[in-house]
Homo-oligomer: A and B are copies of this chain.
């Protein structure tokens, strides 16, 4: 018996996104992030996808996350020096870290706001990425 294409495709995720071949491991990482709004860490992703892929390694999770980030399929979010978190929301947005619960919430910009209009940037600046993070609490 021979198989063609991917090892396993009981999935709704395409075989390629933004030029990145979606291997089974990348699919599981991506699927989990898509269904999860909690901005999990690499280790949390690892723990969770082990249910579907018991032999997956943490290094692979890191590799997958890096590949997905570089192909702009997900975003990496950093709070201070805590472990990186990952976010499937590609719209321009910030992150609010609620210190009381430890949860992270996406923060949209009010309509019509363009970040670069607000900042006093040096001329001829090409911005590749903006990260806005807030810390505080929901009173």
Contact = CB atoms under 8 A, between A and B. Distances in A.
A120 B109 contact: yes
A55 interface: no
Given A84-B81, A130-B133, A96 B124 contact: no
Interface residues of A, number: 36
A132 interface: yes
Secondary structure call for the A interface = strand
Contacts of A84: 80-81
A137 B126 CA distance: 5
Interface in A98-137: 99, 105, 107-110, 113, 117-122, 124-137
Contacts of A120: 107-110
Given A107-B120, A132-B130, A138 B125 contact: yes
Interface of A: 76, 78, 80-81, 84, 94, 96, 99, 105, 107-110, 113, 117-122, 124-139
9 contacts: A76-B80, A78-B81, A96-B121, A109-B118, A110-B120, A127-B134, A128-B136, A130-B134, A131-B131
